[in-house]
Amino acid sequence: MTKDEAVVAAAALLTGRVEADLIDDLAAEAVQLILDYCHIPDFPAALIPVAADAAVALSHRDERPAAGVSQLSVGDTSITYGKADTGDVLSAFASRLHPYRRVAW
């Protein structure tokens, strides 16, 4: 299955799970992250549900605290920074992705 076909299939599973205007972007990001993580050129149809679940997790990534220091307060000044790493999203699906992962040269 091509990347574009995988994005369309994953987007179809996202209807009602995430905001409508974000569906295509989240599906494309999830499919690309999985392709990069697994080091495979074509997207297996069996991973479509994983891509949809990863897209939902990506939609909530800003709600999770970032690793390390995310807020610094000195006196009356407070600075908040950091963003959750998308690699953390895929680590939640590692057991489902490992059978498809290939060694990268």
pLDDT, tens digit, 9 for 90 and up, residues 6-52: 889 888 888 887 788 888 999 999 999 999 999 999 999 999 999 99
58 vs 60: CA distance, rounded Å: 5
81 vs 86: CA distance, rounded Å: 16
Tens digit of each residue's pLDDT (9 = 90 or more) over 87-96: 577 888 889 9
Domain boundaries, the chain: 3-99
48 vs 85: CA distance, rounded Å: 22
60 close to 23: Cβ distance less than 8 angstroms: no
25 vs 58: CA distance, rounded Å: 10
pLDDT at residue 70, rounded to an integer: 62
Q: Give the global pTM.
A: 0.72
Among candidate residues 95, 78, 26, the one with its CA nearest the CA of residue 54:
26
Tens digit of each residue's pLDDT (9 = 90 or more) over 58-67: 888 766 554 5
